[in-house]
Chains A and B, each alone.
Chain A
């Protein structure tokens, strides 16, 4: 069976898609890619549906051996990917051959890379999603992070004849340290001057940052009286403040309900920016209006539509067989993509 083989595990690599939607009323977390924007771009590049499952690779990448020919693309945080020890570009498609090795040299920027393979992984969805929920030990590949000697089966590996790249203006700037928020549902539970502090001071990501939530260090936030509310649903990006006054941002694997006062909520488009930050990074919060945040989300979706449209006319160029070889050849400074189709000739 077509598959990839994990030679070295790296720090934390899981399969994620757009999440397990619709089950929060039963206490089941959404999960899914921390940076959905990068996941979508990786999938669009290799000709998949935007929400197909891909590898979410955290900080220290794995070593992967391809057992079949296919097309891959890596987006998001730059972990310096190489194929057979030759550096490759981010946000670009590469055709790999059986025996090719993908390695990562180290984190250059961001925190999480996304690797999509053409056709996706052959993983049985759990509750409609291929996302891994590690705490619950279900979804993705055996409900856990990938480890050495795992073989992850591929669904429909395909050779993409076109060399696809994403233009720089579609890629988010991870040096941006301003996270935009909408003020929270329990704003009345905070002292007035505390809201000013929250919106003007710097906050630092602590070591307690994972797929569930980010604990921040910074000027303490003060409640009028008490930090607890009657337990209720929590949205992605909600910023809860427990009694110690230190904010916690709720991320992909958050519990479906919570009982702390929420001072603000990170806007949808900036969640993917936050997903690319790591412990030690400093951020500032900026307040914007709901309408403004919704327009940003619409604009982002339109950008993705544009990228997809540009590529989709070429979808038929994806081959489903493994008899095609593609080579990049540089002649007199110009790069050519040479496609070789194997055909048996009768003798």
Chain B
């Protein structure tokens, strides 16, 4: 890929690097490669304070008392030159068990009705894809996922719910996602995972990272209850695999 990035000042201590105005897996890989190149080549905790990767851009927050905007851009341009040589580790797939339907997924029926397919088909379609985590944002640990099948896309609820439980898995238009913390929201809730996506008290604070993939795995209610106990006791081991393997 030979796309020149665009560098703009975002206030007096930020630089927004934009790689494209189109969302694609290739561009997102470039964003991640760039983030890793920065971590490997620039002094992360002296001049650079933090880096926020997104779909097609990277926001670099730096210490403006230590380096000027111009010098920082120069350094980042040098990084851009070597991004192609960065070897990103193979992508991880995080396996997310989900109890679909019933009390955990009251809107599963809506998705089924809206698309004129059976509930089993909805579950099959939703859990048969590996979803790329393009970025984390919106709330602590919330993954922006790509790759959902159009056959299960469903508009948001007309009236949002005041309270959606943490771990709820939902559909909004042609996006799917998981609520890491209890919050209000208008997504069609189709199931729930017993896993904790965000825990401010313990490392790792968030379960998911940009660049990983998510694979939903259907579980029944009993399994959900058992897993939830294990999660609460700290004995549950999250299942990971490498992208491409079964």
B49 is an interface residue with CB less than 8 A from chain A? yes
Mark each residue of chain B from 189 to 215: 1 if its CB lies under 8 Å from any CB of chain A, else 0.
000000000001100011001100000
Interface centre among B14, B23, B142, B180 (most CB of A within 10 A): B14
Q: Which residue of A lies closest to B206 (CB)?
A: A26
Among B56, B61, B68, B180, the residue within 8 A (CB) of A294 is B68
Q: How large is the interface on B (under 10, 10 to 19, 20 to 34, 35 or more residues)?
A: 35 or more
Known: A25-B53, A185-B16, A268-B64. A290 touches B9 (CB 8 A): yes
Known: A27-B136, A257-B135. A232 touches B68 (CB 8 A): no
**Which residues of the other chain, B, contact A266 by a CB distance below 8 angstroms?**
11
A249 CB to nearest B CB, Å:
11
A235 touches B14 (CB 8 A): yes
Q: Which residue of B lies closest to A136 (CB)?
A: B140
Q: Which residue of A lies closest to B209 (CB)?
A: A26
Interface size on A, residues (CB 8 A): 41
A257 touches B9 (CB 8 A): no
Cα distance A100–B53 in the bound complex, in angstroms: 50
Cα distance A185–B10 in the bound complex, in angstroms: 6
A265 is an interface residue with CB less than 8 A from chain B? yes
Cα distance A238–B9 in the bound complex, in angstroms: 11
Cα distance A126–B55 in the bound complex, in angstroms: 28
A294 touches B205 (CB 8 A): no
Cα distance A57–B107 in the bound complex, in angstroms: 43
Mark each residue of chain A from 80 to 95: 1 if its CB lies under 8 Å from any CB of chain B, else 0.
0000000000000000
Cα distance A301–B205 in the bound complex, in angstroms: 32
Which among A16-24, A216-224, A309-317 touches the partner chain?
A16-24
A231 touches B137 (CB 8 A): yes
Q: Which residue of B lies closest to A292 (CB)?
A: B12
A136 touches B61 (CB 8 A): no
A242 CB to nearest B CB, Å:
16
A291 touches B68 (CB 8 A): yes
Q: Which residue of A lies closest to B10 (CB)?
A: A235
B12 touches A182 (CB 8 A): yes
B50 touches A257 (CB 8 A): no
Known: A231-B55, A232-B56, A232-B59. A297 touches B140 (CB 8 A): no
B54 is an interface residue with CB less than 8 A from chain A? yes
B52 touches A256 (CB 8 A): yes
Cα distance A290–B70 in the bound complex, in angstroms: 9
A339 is an interface residue with CB less than 8 A from chain B? no
Interface residues of A in 62-116 (CB under 8 A from B): none
Among A27, A182, A235, the residue within 8 A (CB) of B140 is A27
A195 is an interface residue with CB less than 8 A from chain B? no
B235 is an interface residue with CB less than 8 A from chain A? no
B50 touches A230 (CB 8 A): no
**Which residues of the other chain, A, contact B18 by a CB distance below 8 angstroms?**
185, 232
In the A-B complex, the 8 residue pairs with the smallest Cβ-Cβ separation, listed nearest first, are A233-B59, A257-B137, A233-B52, A265-B11, A293-B12, A232-B54, A138-B200, A235-B14
12 pairs across A/B with beta carbons < 8 Å?
A22-B49, A25-B53, A26-B136, A27-B138, A27-B142, A136-B140, A136-B200, A232-B55, A234-B59, A238-B11, A268-B12, A297-B12
